[in-house]
Amino acid sequence: MKTENPRAWFLVLPVILLVAFNALIPLMTVVNYSVQETFGNNVFFWQGVDWFEQILHSERFHAALGRQFLFTGIILAIEIPLGVAIALAMPRKGIWVPVCLILMALPLLIPWNVVGAMWNIFTLPDIGLMGYGLNNWLGIEYDMTQSPLAAWVTIVVMDVWHWTSLVVLLAYAGLVSIPDAYYQAAEIDGASKWSVFRFIQLPKMKQVLTIAVLLRFMDSFMIYTEPFVLTGGGPGNSTTLLSIDLVKVALGQFDLGPAAAMSLIYFAITLLVSWIFYTIMTKESKE
């Protein structure tokens, strides 16, 4: 029986057009820039893969990429377990459920640059609550504009504060979808709390956690606004993550060719790592 109808393609045409205009055409423009050199006035010279070679051998790029992976690694290592732990601690029934959900959702509703600005003020050593408190009440010397370590701790804590909720909400959604019978059966089988987590809760959360890891990987790997507003990439280059570096190249130095090549490499890495995550995390369920 033939159920395919080629005319169905017309139905997806609007989406194809939309994607073409907002993704494919801009991307192709970038590809176009990445193989040419320009000195302005719309005059272009063919450059081949030179920019790619230059970027791939650039120490500056290696350093930014290293910082980026470090940042994303720390973020995932903190936010995923923490998010799951908070979701486990949240009530499953009762009047506290909506309260917890709203409290959890609040950070997610704040725009990125506002988060950056908030934390900027929050950490000021002279007037910010955290900056002042650490220096004056706890006696810890803290100034993120001076110390790279303090700057790193601050952007990590800020991201954890801003985005752990996303993991919590996803994990919680996975948890509440587990029927009571599973917990009852586990109780009858004499399972310990750890066994319940390991054999019931974790497997049932797996799919949403896959999504959580992917989202948090992509978002943190492409993070720009918050650290830019908070530290501006400093002190020095210590918090210059890939996207910040990219903007410096593209708009600060106006090196369109290298910037385009860098964005394509950046894009390819993001895509590759996402694909690796996805393949590993869904591999088991296919067996």
- Interacting residue ranges for another protein, rule: CB under 8 A: 179, 181-182, 184-185, 187-192, 195, 199-200, 203-204, 284-285, 287
CB of 129 to another protein, least distance (A): 43
- For residue 280 the two structure tokens come to 């590993």
DSSP string for the chain: -----GGGHHHHHHHHHHHIIIIIHHHHHHHHHHTEEE-STT-EEE-TTHHHHHHHT-HHHHHHHHHHHHHHHHHHHHHHHHHHHHHHHS-SSSTHHHHHHHHHHGGGGS-HHHHHHHHHHHT-TTT-HHHHIIIIIS-----TTT-HHHHHHHHHHHHHHHHHHHHHHHHHHHHHTS-HHHHHHHHHTT--HHHHIIIIIHHHHHHHHHHHHHHHHHHHHT--HHHHHHTTT-STTTT--HHHHHHIIIIIS--HHHHHHHHHHHHHHHHHHHHHHHHHHHHHHH-
**Least CB distance to another protein at residue 190 (A):** 4
Shorter beta-carbon distance to another protein: residue 174 or 227: 174
Query: Toward another protein, which CB reaches closer, 60 or 204?
Result: 204
> In angstroms, what is the minimal distance from the CB of 283 to another protein?
13
113/207 with CB nearer another protein: 207
Show the tokens assigned to 133. Answer: 């408190």
CB of 161 to another protein, least distance (A): 33
- Distance, in Å, from the CA atom of 214 to the CA atom of 275, rounded to the nearest integer, reads 9
Minimum CB distance to another protein smaller for 57 or for 286: 286
Burial level of 113, CB count in 10 A (0-12/13-18/19+)? Answer: middle
Closer CB to another protein, residue 186 or residue 250?
A: 186
Closest distance to another protein from the beta carbon of 191 (Å): 6
Give the nearest distance from C-beta 177 to another protein in angstroms. 13
CB neighbours (10 Å) of residue 170?
23
Residue type, 203: P
Q: Check: CB of residue 269 under 8 Å from CB of residue 262.
A: no
Quote the least distance from Cβ 112 to another protein, whole Å: 37
Q: Cβ 79 to another protein, closest distance in Å?
A: 24
Nearer Cβ to another protein (62/193): 193
Closer residue to another protein, CB minimum distance, 195 or 279: 195
Indicate the residue among 203 and 235 with the shorter CB distance to another protein.
Answer: 203
